[in-house]
Amino acid sequence: MSAAKAYEGAQAYLPVRGGIAALRRAAAGCHGCPLYADATQTVFGTGPVPARALLVGEQPGDQEDRSGEPFVGPAGGLLRRALAAAGVDDRDVYLTNAVKHFKFAPVAEGRRRRIHKAPDLRELAACRPWLAAELRRVDPELVVALGATAGKSVLGNAFKVSESRGALLSLPPDEDLPFTAGEERPGGRRFLATVHPSAVLRARDRDEAFDGLVSDLRVAARFLG
């Protein structure tokens, strides 16, 4: 595969019409970046459509790549516990990732589990049209970015979790990504950034990190009412 074709991006694969089901079928055949070649399958978003909140992670992990569903591994289990602790009804939540294929390091001999590698900016840009299309179909009131990669997909490459974590910002509702976030104002879509649940699993003090994630998600719960 040529380098040009490797990074042609997802835009060429988007269906002209249809809802989430049409997007999911089209994404299954996406070759918009090289990640599809090693991944088992595309892992598209899941949840109610429309949904009041759309949560964006980084990419599928090992278990997600095998099952074809997002957030089914340890990080997904922790996220669901955090949502419940914060008072967010998961029936109001659509779950997806900024990148739809699993990127992992070369598998060492004797290792049973593939270790993820963070997607680079070209791969993030290549996959961004899928997330933009999901946002248009799901039409959430609130977008929650779980970690830096998700935040960059929504707000651009300058995004830093540390600068906006836990703050409820405003997004224009009908523009393609990346958005420009502003101060909270009446009407329009909201944006909230927090850490990825996998960061909680890696934390030295996991209880403290979990409490921080729950605290951020309580901001979402208050907004959703």
pLDDT-wise least confident of 37-41, 64-68, 174-178: 174-178
Mean pLDDT of 192-207: 98
Spatial separation of the C-alpha atoms in residues 63 and 48, rounded to whole Å? 22
Give the per-residue pLDDT at 113. Answer: 77
Mean pLDDT of 158-182: 91
Contacts of 118 (CB under 8 A, 6+ apart): 58, 103, 149
Give the per-residue pLDDT at 110. Answer: 63
Percent residues over pLDDT 70 in the chain? 92
Q: What pLDDT digit, counting tens, does each position of 128-160 carry?
A: 999 999 999 999 999 999 999 999 999 999 999
Contacts of 174 (CB under 8 A, 6+ apart): none
The full set of domains in the chain, from first to last, is 3-224 (3.40.470.10)
pLDDT-wise least confident of 67-71, 188-192, 200-204: 188-192
Give the per-residue pLDDT at 159. Answer: 95
pLDDT classification of 95: cutoffs 50, 70, 90: very high
Q: Is the pLDDT of residue 192 over 80?
A: yes
Contacts of 4 (CB under 8 A, 6+ apart): none
- Residue 191's SS3 state is strand
Q: What pLDDT digit, counting tens, does each position of 78-93 carry?
A: 999 999 999 999 889 9
Phi, psi for 131 (deg, rounded to 5)? -65, -40
CB 10 within 8 A of CB 127: yes
Which pair of tokens denotes residue 88?
């967010």
Q: Is the pLDDT of residue 220 over 50?
A: yes
The residue ranges of DSSP E strands in 35-102, in sequence order, are: 53-57, 93-97
Contacts of 202 (CB under 8 A, 6+ apart): none
Give the per-residue pLDDT at 174. Answer: 78
Arithmetic mean of pLDDT over the chain = 93
pLDDT-wise least confident of 5-9, 117-121, 197-201: 5-9
